[in-house]
Structure 1
Amino acid sequence: MNKKVLIVDDDPLNIFALKLTLKAHGYLIESCTTGQESIQLLQDKGGIDVVLMDMMMPEMDGYEAIRIIRNDMLISKVPVIAVTAQAMPEDRQKCLDAGAQDYVSKPINMDQLIMAIEKFS
């Protein structure tokens, strides 16, 4: 069965590039550009195996979106992988503290990302 990945990123180019690569690996892709939209999608659609959450977005950042996801009984179990340009060790910990299960820094190492997706889905 193909795994469904939700890409959340405010940059359409990032979504496009990730979508292309992940589709080539056989994943089904959903995408949105805001944290609020990601929560709505998870609540309405279901069937998402893993979320790739950009941490630096306007309005609602990834940290806030993950906290909301973790506090919503319907969607709290969905694995979230933080994707961020913030690459210091404390940034990784901050993402994990917010409720992400894993962390991948930009520019994205696709092998590392695929391994993270496979680990949680």
Structure 2
Amino acid sequence: MAIKNALLVDDSKVARFALSKLLESRDMEVNMAGSAEEALDFLKSHDRPDVIFMDHLMPGMNGVEATKAIKNNPETAGIPIIMCTSKKSSSFMEEARNFGVYNILTKPPHNEGLNLMLEQLASDVEQGNVPEAPVEMNGHDLRESDDEPMDFPEDASVQLSPKAESGLNGQSAPNVVPLTSDLIEQIARSAVKTHINNRLHELLSSLFDEQFDHLKRALDETRSRQEATIEERLESLSKMLDERTRNLRDEVAAEVNLNLGRELTSLKKELSKNAGFTSE
């Protein structure tokens, strides 16, 4: 089964444009969504695509949450999802596949790797080897290594896994660790780092989109100016040729008329000499 159409989900216009060009070079029909919410609305009102390329980090609903929603819907659970991300560690790939993601496409995408991935997908779909979506994720969430910000009460503590040795009653005693200032500071730094990374991603995406729009406008304006200049030059050249050939046409016409007049005069003389019958 050939992969004929795809849905691209990415908040970056530059990323959507780059990947769409690679897919269109394979004669694929490409639909695009600028957010996860837009992608879910698209799936509700359109025919299901052969594959979905889902960006990992997006403002609002991220790629993980969108993948959850797609895989939990029986009507869309069978659509293969390729997650686009710059993070391609072995642990991330394993967790992604357990989550129902077919494969990971590293950003920025390359034509050779993309072609191999789509060919393998087509083969797996034809042979029925596409992994099915798990029913439950058991609390697993496909995120970056940093945690989201959390609020803790003053007397909060952390319960670690029980040790191997048993207590007096034969049961393992839980290991409770209080949230010290150092631990809270470490969690806070992790949360700030995550927030900064997400904000930086949004700013870079906006910057790329702005530069893409600016470059597109500049190219359109340059193309329009070039077309106007070429048209103006062609019109000027046409006028110049018409003006220069006008005198030439007049001279040629005068010369032709003169030669025709001479030929007619000579012909009349010949006819006058040969008029009537001779003695012979």
TM-score calculated relative to the size of structure 1: 0.90
The superposition leaves residues 37-84 of structure 1 with CA deviations (integer Å, 9 ceiling, x where unpaired) of: 112212210141100111111111111111110100111101111110
Structure 1 regions of 5+ residues with no counterpart?
Answer: none
| Residue 108 to residue 98, structure 1, CA distance change in 2 (3 Å) | same
Q: Distance in 1 between matches of 2:78 and 2:52?
A: 11
Per the alignment, residue 178 of structure 2 pairs with none
- Is it true that 1:99 corresponds to 2:89 in the alignment? no
Higher strand share: 1
The CA deviation string for residues 1-20 of structure 1, in whole angstroms up to 9 with x for no partner, is 77011111111001011111
Q: 1:80-110 CA distances to partner (integer Å, 9 max, x unpaired)? A: 1111011222222232232211111112232
Pair 71,2 (structure 1): closer, same or farther in 2 beyond 3 Å:
closer
Q: Confirm or deny: 8 A CA contact 2:48 2:76 kept in the other structure.
A: no
Task: Report the secondary structure of 1:64's partner residue.
Answer: helix
Answering whether residue 70 of structure 2 is matched by residue 69 of structure 1, we say yes
**Contact 1:83–1:103 at 8 Å: present in 2 too?**
yes
Partner of 2:55: 54
Give RMSD over aligned pairs.
Answer: 1.6
Structure 2 unpaired stretches of 5+: 123-280
> Structure 1 or 2: larger helix share?
2
TM-score, normalised on structure 2?
0.41
Aligned to 2:36: 35
Deviant stretches of 4+, over 6 Å: none
In structure 1, what is the Cα distance between the partners aligned to 2:66 and 2:43? 11
**Higher relative contact order, structure no. (Cα contacts within 8 Å, ≥ 6 residues apart):** 1
Following the alignment from structure 2 to structure 1, what is the Cα–Cα distance between the partners of residues 64 and 11? 14
Q: Supply the AA of the counterpart residue of 1:36.
A: E
Contact 2:70 2:77 in 1 (8 A): yes
Aligned residues: 121
1:83–1:104 Cα contact (<8 Å) kept: yes
Work out which of the two has the higher radius of gyration on C-alpha atoms and give 1 or 2: 2
